[in-house]
Amino acid sequence: MSLRRAVALTSVATVFAALSVAARQPAQVSPETAGLSPAPLREATDLLKRYVAEQRMAGAVAAVARAGRIGYFETVGMQDLQARTPMSARSLFRIYSMTRPITSVAVMMLQEEGRFQLDDPVARFIPEFKNVVVAAAPGATPHAPTRDVTVRDLLLHTAGLQPRTSEAYQREHVRSREITMAQFLANLVRVPLMEEPGTRYRYSEGTSVLGRLVEIWSGKPFEVFLDERIFRPLRMTDTMFWAGTPEQRARLTTVYGPAPGGGLRPIETETLPFTERPTLIEGAIGLLSSVPDYLRFSQMLLNKGELDGVRLLKASTVGAMISNGLSEAVLKTRNGATGWGLANVEVQLNPPAGALEASGEFGWDGTAGTIFSVDPGRQSVMVLFTASQPSNPDQIRQRFKALVQQAIMN
């Protein structure tokens, strides 16, 4: 039996497990076998190639799976323009905020084990949080919050904390890959909360606090817990906090942005490069990964916690994680058709244009050009990685995703 015929008859587990020995390319079936129309996918590839030719991005790796079968996998352009290293299936990308769903899975695994409750005060485990205060009106004195910051607040970004790029956090040097976790926590609580916990969604550094909580609850370093409990079981062999070996460094993509006068120039996203071990291991933004690895992680979420016979979470837990967790009052502060789930994912609330009902789509992205989207209603997963900053050059994400959605056959 031919390899293509064998793959077409395999289960979801075999499809995702099979890798060619030579290039570690994920096993792939025809688009039709995966329930995808080839023509829009060809347009999607042409779109990526056009962006590369027009120097709007250096390259991309993209994948689409449906019902557990990979019907589309493409590598386009260059991983490193100067070295002329082409993109490959195993190219490593700085996934930044796409670290957060992985951290959330770790948190909820420990919640299932009874190590904590979602509404436990963070201060019960991290004493520094006993010192938080809420910012007051100009000229007034900051005051103690009306209630504690909880673990749920950290997952849903309702703690009153701020993003790493905020003016206050930049001014106070809250976060750096070169400081310790103790320093980070001390810096974090020194800056007043922007509002009372539970009253507003504000994307924040709270997910890195969750990484520290994983260490406290599990008794293991955060990176060790992820490796032992998530990466190894899911065979995510190319997901890590730094490219520590020459072989890994050779696969690390260069991030590119627009150059003055046209073309592209390399962008250094951190003062401490991702080729060196960081002092601060961050649950919010720290990981490197590849498209095949993140496709496997995404498929596990679509499968409600299981992949290849390995179950990380109960189906009911994942169902709660990928549903909106924000209250009606907090949703109003987002001013949109999307909610936020405990999995640290944006959740579609309203039907997309032309649809009769919402499909439960969820996903998130990263600041250096990565995005994933999972659509339970259509049983599809899309992963697109470009090493770009700004992260979405000329709306490549929306344009690529629109073609993928056209390809999905009923």
CA angle 71, 341, 227 (to 5 degrees): 65
| This model's pTM is above 0.85 | yes
Residue 249 has pLDDT above 60, yes or no: yes
What are the pLDDT digits (tens) for 277-317?
999 999 999 999 999 999 999 999 999 999 999 999 999 99
Tokens representing residue 85 in the block: 């290293």
What are the pLDDT digits (tens) for 209-223?
999 999 999 999 999
Residue 375 has pLDDT above 80, yes or no: yes
pLDDT greater at residue 362 or residue 3: 362
Structure confidence at residue 4 as a pLDDT band (50, 70, 90): very low
Q: Residue 255: name the closest of 59, 73, 99 by CA.
A: 59
Q: Helix 396-407 and helix 38-53: axis angle, to 10°? A: 160
What are the pLDDT digits (tens) for 29-84?
999 999 999 999 999 999 999 999 999 999 999 999 999 999 999 999 999 999 99
Query: What is the rounded CA–CA span in Å between residue 376 and residue 347?
Result: 11
pLDDT greater at residue 20 or residue 410: 410
Structure confidence at residue 129 as a pLDDT band (50, 70, 90): very high
Structure confidence at residue 350 as a pLDDT band (50, 70, 90): confident
- Per-residue HEC secondary structure of 277-340 comes to CCCCCCCCCCCEECHHHHHHHHHHHHCCCEECCEECCCHHHHHHHCCCCCCHHHHHCCCCCEEE
For residue 260, whether the previous peptide bond is cis, meaning omega lies within 30 degrees of 0, is no
What's the DSSP call for residue 408?
A: B
Q: What's the average model confidence in pLDDT over 195-220? A: 97
Question: What amino acid is encoded at 54 in this protein?
Answer: E
What local confidence, expressed as pLDDT, does residue 25 receive?
55
Tokens representing residue 116 in the block: 């904590």
pLDDT greater at residue 32 or residue 354: 32
CA angle 353, 358, 362 (to 5 degrees): 105
The answer to whether the beta carbons of residues 258 and 98 sit under 8 Å apart is no
> 340: Cβ–Cβ under 8 A, 6 or more apart, which residues?
156, 157, 201, 324, 325, 326, 334, 346, 347
What local confidence, expressed as pLDDT, does residue 136 receive?
78
Q: What's the average model confidence in pLDDT over 264-280? A: 95
